[in-house]
Structure 1
Amino acid sequence: MPGTRDRAAGALPDPVRIRLAAAGAAVVTVGAGLGLRAVAAGNVGKYGGDALYTVLILALVVVAVPRATPLTAAASALAVSWGIEFLQLSEVPAELSRRSAVARLVLGSTFDPPDLFWYAVGAAAGWLVHTAAGSVTGRRAGSPGHERCR
Protein backbone atom coordinates (compact mmCIF):
# COMPACT_ATOMS: atom_id res chain seq x y z
CA MET A 1 0.00 0.00 0.00
CA PRO A 2 1.58 3.35 -1.00
CA GLY A 3 2.64 5.52 1.90
CA THR A 4 2.24 2.82 4.55
CA ARG A 5 5.97 2.51 5.07
CA ASP A 6 6.31 6.30 5.33
CA ARG A 7 3.60 6.52 7.97
CA ALA A 8 5.12 3.76 10.08
CA ALA A 9 8.66 5.15 9.81
CA GLY A 10 8.26 8.73 10.96
CA ALA A 11 4.76 10.03 10.67
CA LEU A 12 2.59 11.54 13.32
CA PRO A 13 1.07 9.12 15.79
CA ASP A 14 -2.65 8.67 15.40
CA PRO A 15 -5.01 10.61 17.68
CA VAL A 16 -6.13 7.47 19.50
CA ARG A 17 -2.59 6.72 20.67
CA ILE A 18 -2.06 10.34 21.67
CA ARG A 19 -5.31 10.32 23.65
CA LEU A 20 -4.42 7.06 25.38
CA ALA A 21 -0.97 8.37 26.32
CA ALA A 22 -2.48 11.63 27.60
CA ALA A 23 -5.14 9.75 29.58
CA GLY A 24 -2.40 7.60 31.10
CA ALA A 25 -0.46 10.75 31.96
CA ALA A 26 -3.58 12.16 33.62
CA VAL A 27 -3.98 9.04 35.78
CA VAL A 28 -0.30 9.15 36.75
CA THR A 29 -0.61 12.85 37.57
CA VAL A 30 -3.62 12.27 39.83
CA GLY A 31 -1.69 9.49 41.57
CA ALA A 32 1.34 11.74 41.99
CA GLY A 33 -0.86 14.48 43.43
CA LEU A 34 -2.55 12.15 45.90
CA GLY A 35 0.81 10.66 46.85
CA LEU A 36 2.33 14.09 47.34
CA ARG A 37 -0.53 15.17 49.60
CA ALA A 38 -0.13 11.95 51.61
CA VAL A 39 3.60 12.38 52.28
CA ALA A 40 4.27 16.12 52.10
CA ALA A 41 2.92 18.65 54.52
CA GLY A 42 2.64 22.41 54.31
CA ASN A 43 3.80 24.37 51.31
CA VAL A 44 5.50 21.44 49.58
CA GLY A 45 2.26 19.51 49.34
CA LYS A 46 0.15 22.56 48.56
CA TYR A 47 2.29 24.15 45.88
CA GLY A 48 3.39 20.82 44.40
CA GLY A 49 -0.30 20.01 44.14
CA ASP A 50 -0.91 23.32 42.36
CA ALA A 51 1.75 22.50 39.76
CA LEU A 52 0.35 18.99 39.28
CA TYR A 53 -3.16 20.44 38.93
CA THR A 54 -2.00 22.36 35.86
CA VAL A 55 -0.17 19.30 34.51
CA LEU A 56 -3.44 17.37 34.85
CA ILE A 57 -5.34 20.06 32.95
CA LEU A 58 -2.67 19.97 30.23
CA ALA A 59 -3.09 16.20 29.90
CA LEU A 60 -6.86 16.64 29.66
CA VAL A 61 -6.40 19.28 26.95
CA VAL A 62 -4.37 16.74 24.95
CA VAL A 63 -7.04 14.08 25.50
CA ALA A 64 -9.61 16.52 24.07
CA VAL A 65 -7.36 17.91 21.31
CA PRO A 66 -4.69 15.31 20.53
CA ARG A 67 -2.98 17.39 17.85
CA ALA A 68 -2.53 20.40 20.17
CA THR A 69 1.04 21.63 20.16
CA PRO A 70 2.91 21.56 23.47
CA LEU A 71 2.76 25.36 23.66
CA THR A 72 -0.99 25.46 22.97
CA ALA A 73 -1.70 22.72 25.50
CA ALA A 74 0.48 24.38 28.18
CA ALA A 75 -0.98 27.84 27.54
CA SER A 76 -4.52 26.45 27.65
CA ALA A 77 -3.85 24.62 30.92
CA LEU A 78 -2.31 27.73 32.44
CA ALA A 79 -5.24 29.88 31.32
CA VAL A 80 -7.74 27.46 32.88
CA SER A 81 -5.74 27.25 36.12
CA TRP A 82 -5.40 31.02 36.40
CA GLY A 83 -9.06 31.50 35.45
CA ILE A 84 -10.18 29.19 38.24
CA GLU A 85 -7.82 30.90 40.70
CA PHE A 86 -9.14 34.35 39.81
CA LEU A 87 -12.70 33.02 40.05
CA GLN A 88 -11.89 32.38 43.71
CA LEU A 89 -11.97 36.15 44.23
CA SER A 90 -15.74 35.72 44.02
CA GLU A 91 -17.88 33.71 46.43
CA VAL A 92 -18.86 31.12 43.82
CA PRO A 93 -16.09 28.51 44.35
CA ALA A 94 -16.28 28.81 48.15
CA GLU A 95 -20.05 28.25 48.11
CA LEU A 96 -19.78 25.29 45.72
CA SER A 97 -16.90 23.84 47.75
CA ARG A 98 -19.03 23.87 50.88
CA ARG A 99 -21.62 21.74 49.07
CA SER A 100 -19.38 19.34 47.15
CA ALA A 101 -16.04 17.62 47.71
CA VAL A 102 -15.58 17.41 43.94
CA ALA A 103 -16.09 21.18 43.60
CA ARG A 104 -13.56 21.71 46.39
CA LEU A 105 -10.99 19.60 44.53
CA VAL A 106 -11.63 21.23 41.16
CA LEU A 107 -12.35 24.84 42.12
CA GLY A 108 -10.74 25.34 45.51
CA SER A 109 -12.22 28.03 47.69
CA THR A 110 -9.86 30.93 48.37
CA PHE A 111 -7.59 33.03 46.20
CA ASP A 112 -3.87 32.61 46.97
CA PRO A 113 -1.50 34.71 44.80
CA PRO A 114 1.47 32.27 45.02
CA ASP A 115 -0.73 29.64 43.36
CA LEU A 116 -0.45 31.62 40.12
CA PHE A 117 3.32 31.08 40.08
CA TRP A 118 3.04 27.35 40.81
CA TYR A 119 0.48 26.91 38.05
CA ALA A 120 3.04 28.44 35.68
CA VAL A 121 5.63 25.96 36.98
CA GLY A 122 3.23 23.11 36.23
CA ALA A 123 2.52 24.46 32.74
CA ALA A 124 6.26 24.72 32.04
CA ALA A 125 6.88 21.18 33.31
CA GLY A 126 3.98 19.84 31.26
CA TRP A 127 5.23 21.71 28.20
CA LEU A 128 8.68 20.12 28.63
CA VAL A 129 7.24 16.61 28.95
CA HIS A 130 4.85 17.11 26.02
CA THR A 131 7.67 18.50 23.88
CA ALA A 132 9.96 15.61 24.79
CA ALA A 133 7.21 13.07 24.10
CA GLY A 134 6.56 14.69 20.73
CA SER A 135 10.21 14.54 19.75
CA VAL A 136 10.40 10.85 20.70
CA THR A 137 7.31 9.98 18.67
CA GLY A 138 8.17 12.21 15.71
CA ARG A 139 5.31 14.66 16.28
CA ARG A 140 7.54 17.71 15.89
CA ALA A 141 7.22 19.91 12.86
CA GLY A 142 10.06 19.08 10.52
CA SER A 143 10.24 15.43 11.53
CA PRO A 144 10.44 12.93 8.69
CA GLY A 145 7.05 12.42 7.15
CA HIS A 146 5.44 15.38 8.95
CA GLU A 147 4.46 17.15 5.73
CA ARG A 148 2.92 13.98 4.25
CA CYS A 149 0.57 13.47 7.22
CA ARG A 150 -1.29 16.75 7.27
Structure 2
Amino acid sequence: MSGEAHGRGMRRPMLFATGLLVTAAGLAVHLLGSGTAAGLVADGLYAVLVYLILAFAWPRAAILRVGSVALLACVLIELAQLSLLPAALASWWAPFRLVLGTTFSAVDLVAYAGGVLAALGGDAGAARLARRRSGKADEQQLIAH
Protein backbone atom coordinates (compact mmCIF):
# COMPACT_ATOMS: atom_id res chain seq x y z
CA MET A 1 0.00 0.00 0.00
CA SER A 2 1.18 3.50 -0.67
CA GLY A 3 2.65 5.98 1.76
CA GLU A 4 -0.32 8.31 1.32
CA ALA A 5 -2.70 5.76 2.83
CA HIS A 6 -0.24 5.07 5.64
CA GLY A 7 0.06 8.77 6.38
CA ARG A 8 -3.69 9.03 6.82
CA GLY A 9 -3.52 6.51 9.65
CA MET A 10 -6.36 4.40 8.27
CA ARG A 11 -4.47 1.31 7.11
CA ARG A 12 -4.27 -0.53 10.41
CA PRO A 13 -7.88 0.12 11.49
CA MET A 14 -9.09 -1.04 8.06
CA LEU A 15 -6.89 -4.14 8.18
CA PHE A 16 -8.17 -4.92 11.67
CA ALA A 17 -11.83 -4.47 10.72
CA THR A 18 -11.36 -6.54 7.57
CA GLY A 19 -9.62 -9.21 9.64
CA LEU A 20 -12.62 -9.43 11.95
CA LEU A 21 -14.98 -9.81 8.98
CA VAL A 22 -12.77 -12.42 7.33
CA THR A 23 -12.50 -14.35 10.61
CA ALA A 24 -16.28 -14.34 11.01
CA ALA A 25 -16.80 -15.43 7.41
CA GLY A 26 -14.18 -18.17 7.70
CA LEU A 27 -15.68 -19.53 10.90
CA ALA A 28 -19.17 -19.44 9.37
CA VAL A 29 -18.01 -21.37 6.32
CA HIS A 30 -16.10 -23.83 8.52
CA LEU A 31 -19.01 -24.43 10.90
CA LEU A 32 -21.95 -24.22 8.50
CA GLY A 33 -20.49 -25.35 5.18
CA SER A 34 -19.64 -28.83 4.05
CA GLY A 35 -17.87 -30.49 1.19
CA THR A 36 -14.88 -29.63 -0.92
CA ALA A 37 -16.12 -26.19 -1.99
CA ALA A 38 -16.65 -25.05 1.59
CA GLY A 39 -13.22 -26.37 2.54
CA LEU A 40 -11.56 -24.47 -0.30
CA VAL A 41 -13.39 -21.24 0.58
CA ALA A 42 -12.42 -21.63 4.24
CA ASP A 43 -8.79 -22.24 3.27
CA GLY A 44 -8.82 -19.22 0.97
CA LEU A 45 -10.21 -17.06 3.77
CA TYR A 46 -7.52 -18.45 6.06
CA ALA A 47 -4.87 -17.21 3.61
CA VAL A 48 -6.58 -13.81 3.43
CA LEU A 49 -6.45 -13.61 7.23
CA VAL A 50 -2.75 -14.53 7.27
CA TYR A 51 -2.17 -11.74 4.74
CA LEU A 52 -4.15 -9.25 6.84
CA ILE A 53 -2.27 -10.17 10.02
CA LEU A 54 1.07 -9.71 8.29
CA ALA A 55 -0.02 -6.43 6.67
CA PHE A 56 -1.20 -5.19 10.08
CA ALA A 57 2.13 -6.10 11.67
CA TRP A 58 4.15 -4.75 8.72
CA PRO A 59 2.02 -1.86 7.39
CA ARG A 60 4.66 -0.13 5.28
CA ALA A 61 5.83 -3.24 3.46
CA ALA A 62 5.14 -3.60 -0.24
CA ILE A 63 2.01 -5.65 -0.83
CA LEU A 64 3.87 -8.18 -2.98
CA ARG A 65 6.29 -8.78 -0.12
CA VAL A 66 3.41 -9.24 2.33
CA GLY A 67 1.69 -11.57 -0.13
CA SER A 68 4.84 -13.63 -0.65
CA VAL A 69 5.38 -14.03 3.09
CA ALA A 70 1.69 -14.86 3.62
CA LEU A 71 1.78 -17.57 0.96
CA LEU A 72 5.03 -18.95 2.35
CA ALA A 73 3.53 -19.06 5.85
CA CYS A 74 0.45 -20.90 4.58
CA VAL A 75 2.57 -23.40 2.65
CA LEU A 76 4.79 -24.04 5.68
CA ILE A 77 1.75 -24.55 7.91
CA GLU A 78 0.30 -27.00 5.39
CA LEU A 79 3.59 -28.86 5.10
CA ALA A 80 3.81 -29.05 8.89
CA GLN A 81 0.65 -31.15 8.72
CA LEU A 82 2.79 -33.93 7.28
CA SER A 83 4.26 -34.26 10.77
CA LEU A 84 2.38 -35.28 13.89
CA LEU A 85 2.88 -31.93 15.62
CA PRO A 86 -0.30 -30.06 14.50
CA ALA A 87 -2.52 -33.04 15.37
CA ALA A 88 -0.82 -33.39 18.76
CA LEU A 89 -1.31 -29.68 19.46
CA ALA A 90 -4.96 -29.91 18.35
CA SER A 91 -5.55 -32.78 20.78
CA TRP A 92 -4.08 -30.61 23.53
CA TRP A 93 -6.12 -27.48 22.69
CA ALA A 94 -8.92 -27.64 20.11
CA PRO A 95 -8.45 -24.15 18.57
CA PHE A 96 -5.05 -25.29 17.26
CA ARG A 97 -7.02 -27.44 14.80
CA LEU A 98 -8.40 -24.27 13.18
CA VAL A 99 -5.06 -22.48 13.16
CA LEU A 100 -2.70 -25.29 12.15
CA GLY A 101 -4.97 -27.93 10.63
CA THR A 102 -4.21 -31.61 11.04
CA THR A 103 -4.30 -33.24 7.60
CA PHE A 104 -2.12 -32.32 4.63
CA SER A 105 -3.89 -31.69 1.32
CA ALA A 106 -2.11 -30.40 -1.76
CA VAL A 107 -5.41 -28.87 -2.94
CA ASP A 108 -5.27 -26.55 0.07
CA LEU A 109 -2.17 -24.97 -1.43
CA VAL A 110 -4.24 -23.84 -4.42
CA ALA A 111 -6.84 -22.33 -2.09
CA TYR A 112 -4.11 -20.49 -0.19
CA ALA A 113 -2.71 -19.06 -3.43
CA GLY A 114 -6.20 -17.91 -4.42
CA GLY A 115 -6.75 -16.32 -1.02
CA VAL A 116 -3.45 -14.46 -1.13
CA LEU A 117 -4.20 -13.26 -4.67
CA ALA A 118 -7.60 -12.01 -3.50
CA ALA A 119 -5.97 -10.21 -0.56
CA LEU A 120 -3.38 -8.64 -2.86
CA GLY A 121 -6.13 -7.44 -5.19
CA GLY A 122 -8.15 -6.01 -2.33
CA ASP A 123 -5.14 -4.28 -0.81
CA ALA A 124 -4.07 -2.82 -4.17
CA GLY A 125 -7.61 -1.61 -4.79
CA ALA A 126 -7.77 -0.02 -1.34
CA ALA A 127 -4.44 1.73 -2.01
CA ARG A 128 -5.73 3.11 -5.33
CA LEU A 129 -8.91 4.34 -3.66
CA ALA A 130 -6.91 5.98 -0.87
CA ARG A 131 -4.69 7.73 -3.44
CA ARG A 132 -7.74 8.98 -5.35
CA ARG A 133 -9.37 10.26 -2.18
CA SER A 134 -6.12 11.87 -1.10
CA GLY A 135 -5.78 13.55 -4.48
CA LYS A 136 -9.35 14.85 -4.36
CA ALA A 137 -8.82 16.16 -0.84
CA ASP A 138 -5.64 17.93 -2.01
CA GLU A 139 -7.54 19.42 -4.98
CA GLN A 140 -10.32 20.64 -2.71
CA GLN A 141 -7.79 22.31 -0.40
CA LEU A 142 -6.18 24.07 -3.37
CA ILE A 143 -9.56 25.27 -4.62
CA ALA A 144 -10.61 26.48 -1.16
CA HIS A 145 -7.42 28.52 -0.71
**Whole-Å separation in 1 of the counterparts to 2:30 and 2:82:** 24
Q: CA deviation at 1:116?
A: 0.6
Q: Name the CA shift for 1:72/1:41 in 2 (closer, same or farther; >3 Å).
A: same
Among candidates 119, 124, 128, match of residue 126 of structure 1: 119
Counterparts of 1:1-150 in structure 2, within 5 Å, are 11-14=4-7, 16-138=9-131
SS in structure 2 of the partner of residue 103 of structure 1: helix
Separation in structure 2 between the aligned mates of residue 15 and residue 35 of structure 1, nearest angstrom = 33
Shift of 1:86: 0.4
Q: TM-score scaled to structure 2, two decimals? A: 0.83
Q: Which runs of 5+ in 2 are unaligned?
A: 136-145
Q: Is the 8 A contact 1:33 1:52 kept in 2?
A: yes
Task: Give the superposed CA RMSD.
Answer: 2.0
When the two structures are superposed, what TM-score results if normalisation uses the length of structure 1? 0.81
Residues of 2 paired with 1:102 and 1:42: CA distance?
A: 21
Instruction: Structure 1: give runs of 5+ residues left out of the alignment.
Output: 1-9, 145-150
Given that 2:44 and 2:116 are in contact with CA atoms closer than 8 Å, whether structure 1 keeps it comes out as yes
Indicate if the aligned counterparts of 1:15 and 1:66 stay in contact, CA closer than 8 A: no
Taking only the aligned residue pairs, the percentage that are identical comes to 33
Over 6 Å off, 4+ runs: none
Q: Secondary structure at the match of 2:23?
A: helix
1:16, distance to aligned residue in structure 2 (A): 4.1
Question: Displacement of 1:109 after TM fit?
Answer: 0.7
35-44 or 118-127, larger mean C-alpha shift: 35-44
Larger helix proportion, structure 1 or 2? 2
Would you say the 8 A contact 1:51–1:118 is kept in 2? yes
Query: What code does the residue aligned with 1:23 have?
Result: F
Paired residue secondary structure (1:62): helix
Relative to structure 1, the CA distance from residue 131 to residue 98 in structure 2 (aligned partners, 3 Å threshold; closer, same or farther) is same
Aligned partners of 2:127 and 2:48: how far apart in 1? 16
- Distance, in Å, in 2 between the alignment partners of 1:15 and 1:113 is 40
